[in-house]
Amino acid sequence: WRQVGLEVEQLVLPTGPFFAAIRQTPPQFDVTISFNCQTIVNPQVDVSQFISGDKTAANDGHYIDRKLDEMYDAQLREADPAKQKQILRDYQIYLAKQGYYINTLWWQRTVLSNTKVQDWNVSPSHYLNNQLETVWLQQ
């Protein structure tokens, strides 16, 4: 922030108070870090946090944008996968242009484990390669 000339106060909170603060209405912040990690890969669930704040408690920006709501509803009802994919792509582009969120384009997954853990191949995704039936401990 300072590199672009802004003087800000950064507040680091434990998990419980952090989520209470970002879900508070009206919000007590101008900018926050938000997370979007579901238990499965599902585009409809992944983008649902970006619909208007009066439609989902997951919208940490607390904004209202009916165009996003309409696009989200349209992709939910679209039966043709190619058309649904195009609506979602348009949704992503529109969302990015509004400036509600700045997405992290990539990130590094670092997993530390004891050297005794054998035959576990760590993938770059939280969703892949979570089968642990081949993992064993070297004694």
Q: Who has greater pLDDT, 38 or 20?
A: 20
* pLDDT surpassing 70 at residue 56: yes
CA distances from 27 to 50, 87, 122, 127 (A): 16, 30, 38, 32
What is the predicted pLDDT for the residue at 88?
Answer: 92
pLDDT at res. 61? 85
Report, as an integer, the average pLDDT of 11-22.
Answer: 88
Distance separating alpha carbons of residues 62 and 51, to the nearest angstrom:
10
Per-residue pLDDT, averaged over 110-133, amounts to 76
Full-model pTM: 0.67
Is 31's pLDDT higher than 90?
no
pLDDT surpasses 70 at 37: no
> DSSP state, 113?
-
